[in-house]
Amino acid sequence: MQGFEQIGKSKTMGRVNQIVTLGVLAGVGLLAGCRQDMHDQPKFYPQRGTAFYTDGRSVRPQVANTVGRNQLHTESYFYTGMVDGKEGDGLPFPVTLQVLAKGQERYNVYCTPCHSRVGNGAGMIVQRGYSPAGNFQGGKLRAVGLGHFFNVMTNGYGSMPDYASQLTPADRWAIAGYIRALQLSQNAQRSDVPAGAEVKPLASIAASEGLPESFAAEWDVASPAEMPGSGSSKTMSAPSTAPVGAKPASPAPAAAGTPSTTSTATPAAALPAKPVKQEVSIADVKAGQLIYSKNCQVCHTAQLTGRPPTFPSLVGVVQRLGEGHVRGNIQHGAPPMPAFPQIAGKELDQLVAYLTTPSKAGSSAPPSN
């Protein structure tokens, strides 16, 4: 009996030891999980005092001459282009040839894809179906202040994104000045030419630069319906082909806010005579519409709207690119568009007539037999 009692007592003690051990482990775990150092660590409370600093303030004063972010822009016009909430005019720094050269370089990089080198809004990606761009040569954009161009480049407008991250404020102002110079160069009058300055025909300027005379051919401003912001559609002279930084002849003195530029006005007698355009009959337009429906409609649609970006819109294509360019594309192709050498002679004339004046043929659907 004593043996059995001893065995029972030992089992009972073992269970007690297990319970005590588990209790100790649970207590250690509980204490470890209730550490208070992350809650009770010394720290400052906003808007409360402290005994840590002698002045009793937990918030320390700013270092002398500290300036908050975006609070250093004391010249508000330089950074916004706005005066009393309205778009200003003039540049915030003196206009020099170096400023205009910089503006031309930045303009050619960022602006020409949409607005073209001459600023008529018929850039290459617009020709391929992108949203129409502003025509700087139109009456509306010739009348706005330079602050408008700066503001649009900074914040974007319509389908145009902002370029604040790509262009510094100084570069944006340089582009604005160059746009004004472009406007002046394409609308120069003889009265703008300094006395004694030589005026050369554009064809001779192109030849002196090693370019064909056709490089300085006239170009057409797109119609107002195609290019928002444009004034009346009119034919303008091509810009001078002189390289950036070239020294112009007898530049006029520049004043702040009004970029100086050398006029390239061409004497009327020096311009080549324009070819006399023959009248296009309704029959020719209808015949051109039939040619279009058989050869072009599958890619460019019956309404000429195209399927951008692969197949560009042909609405107003002759007015935008010029008749010679369109004829060349049809005859020789313009990848991914194949060449159509079989469309020649009278048929080519009729197709171009339809692309020029599709409305004369009535409905854009193929004519019935």
* Unique residue bearing structure tokens 């016009």: 77
pLDDT tens digit at each of 369 positions of the chain: 555 556 656 667 767 777 878 877 777 666 666 556 666 777 888 888 888 888 888 888 888 888 777 666 667 899 999 998 899 998 999 999 999 999 999 999 999 999 998 898 989 998 888 888 999 988 899 999 999 999 999 999 888 999 999 999 999 999 999 999 999 888 878 788 888 888 777 778 778 888 776 666 655 544 433 433 333 333 333 333 333 333 333 333 343 343 433 333 334 334 444 444 556 788 888 899 999 999 998 888 888 888 876 788 888 888 888 888 889 889 888 878 888 989 989 899 999 989 987 554 444 444 443
| Four-point Cα dihedral 88, 92, 95, 96, nearest 10 | -150
- Residue 58 resides in a domain: no
Say yes or no: 238 and 311 in one domain. no
Domain end residue (candidates: 240, 270, 300):
270
Question: Is 154 found in the same domain as 115?
Answer: yes
Residues 80 and 212 in one domain: yes
Do 185 and 326 reside in the same domain of the chain?
no
Considering the domain architecture, whether residues 214 and 330 belong to the same structural domain is answered as no
Report the alpha-carbon distance of residue 126 to residue 144 in Å, rounded: 23
Residue 304 within any structural domain of the chain: yes
**Could you list the residue range(s) of the whole structural domain that residue 301 is in?**
282-361
Residue 265 and residue 223 share a domain: yes
| Torsion of the alpha carbons at 116, 121, 123 and 127, rounded to the nearest 10 | -160
- Is there a contact between 322 and 263 (Cβ–Cβ < 8 Å)? no
Structure-token pair, residue 37: 């150092």
Q: What pLDDT score does 190 carry?
A: 78
Asked if residue 90 and residue 195 are part of one domain, the reply reads: yes
Three-state SS annotation for 69-122: CCCCCCCHHHHHCEECCEECCCCCCCCCHHHHHHHHHHHHHHCHHHHCCCCCCC
- 327 and 350, same domain (yes or no): yes
**Which pTM value belongs to this model?**
0.45
Angle at 224 between CA 218 and CA 229, to 5 degrees: 105
Number of independent structural domains in the chain: 2
- 141 and 95: one domain? yes
Task: Note whether 144 and 185 are within 8 A (CB).
Answer: no
Domain boundary among 248, 270, 292: 270
Q: Please report whether residue 168 resides in a domain.
A: yes
Residue 185 lies in a domain: yes
d(CA 108, CA 91): 20
Cα gap 138→117, rounded to integer Å? 15
Q: For tokens 């370019």, what's the residue?
A: 211
DSSP 49: B
Cα separation of 137 and 237, whole Å?
11
Other Cβ atoms within 10 Å of 333 Cβ, number: 13
Query: Amino acid identity of 52?
Result: F
Distance CA 286, CA 309 (A): 28
Same domain as 99, residue 232: yes
Looking at residue 257, its pLDDT comes to 41
> Any residues with CB less than 8 A from the CB of 26 and at least 6 apart, and which?
none
177 and 100 part of one domain: yes
The upper half-sphere exposure of residue 223, i.e. CA atoms within 13 Å in the direction of its Cβ, equals: 9
Q: Does one domain contain both 220 and 356?
A: no
Q: Which two tokens stand for residue 192?
A: 């703008």
> What pLDDT score was predicted for residue 37?
61
Find all residues with CB under 8 Å of 207, minimum gap 6, and list them.
213
Phi first, then psi: give them for residue 328, nearest 5 degrees. -65, -40
In this structure, what CATH number is given to the domain that contains residue 304? 1.10.760.10
